[in-house]
Structure 1
């Protein structure tokens, strides 16, 4: 597995770092089962469609859905989020493709559904935030 990120368009190194940090902060919040920290990676008006197709509109809705989910069916779920592609849409708007790998609480890969996620991350007054996102559960990649 490679950690290389495909960059399409002029995405300065500092923007690459900032956008990747949003994804890593989202990963940390997910793995800590912290719905508030997770929702803070989104804009106030964000639109997020989760892996089961539920659309959540706004940071508040994302936190309200994530809290019970993280205490319920996601309580033993952990993942690694790897940015695989950055696409410059506009000077301060970046399309981001992320590969999600299920892990145990120590970060070791485990069996289970993987994720293929697309985010649009844009610079806001309070930093880089996710404006819109779509998560899709996918079968584990073939080994070999």
Structure 2
């Protein structure tokens, strides 16, 4: 039995990384300013999201509607700081990105010492830009409990 391969795309990705970093930055800005349109802007029409509670949602219109309700409701006075933890290009047009999330206050000061959530983004490059086709959020257990 041969060992499992390392799957990676060997091409350079500096411009791709910059675009993916911008997607994460836009997501943070959207969350912190309650901008549901910007929060949804980078998702493909047929994207699927699993939120931190395990609820699965599919389709751009559903994501926009959910984001509008959440940002006007229970997330309205919530703030975050996001960090792009890593990106793996499995093909030139497919990337897996992990984002760490920490709660912040309205001035941007961190509330959490460690990441409270990690999100996995599956991104596909189509028509010259990166689109989020899937996102999976996972809460990180509190280390003190």
TM-score norm. by structure 1 comes to 0.85
Which ranges in structure 1 are unaligned for 5 or more consecutive residues? Answer: 1-7
Find the counterpart in structure 2 of residue 135 from structure 1.
Answer: 137
Partner Cα separation in structure 2 for residue 137 and residue 116 of structure 1: 6
Which one has a bigger Cα radius of gyration?
Answer: 2
- Report the secondary structure of 1:94's partner residue: strand
Post-superposition, which runs of at least 4 consecutive aligned residues in structure 1 deviate over 2 A? 8-11, 124-127, 139-142
Alignment of 1:18-57 (within 5 A): 18-57=19-58
- Report the secondary structure of 1:19's partner residue: helix
Task: After TM superposition, give the deviation of residue 140 of structure 1 in Å.
Answer: 4.5
User: Pairwise CA RMSD of aligned residues?
Assistant: 2.0
Partner Cα separation in structure 2 for residue 42 and residue 105 of structure 1: 26
Whether 1:63 and 2:94 are equivalent positions in the alignment is no
TM-score norm. by structure 2 comes to 0.84
Partner Cα separation in structure 1 for residue 85 and residue 31 of structure 2: 19
CA deviations on 1:26-58 (whole Å, 9 max, x unpaired) are: 111111111111111111110111111111101
- Report the secondary structure of 1:15's partner residue: helix
Which ranges in structure 2 are unaligned for 5 or more consecutive residues? Answer: 1-7
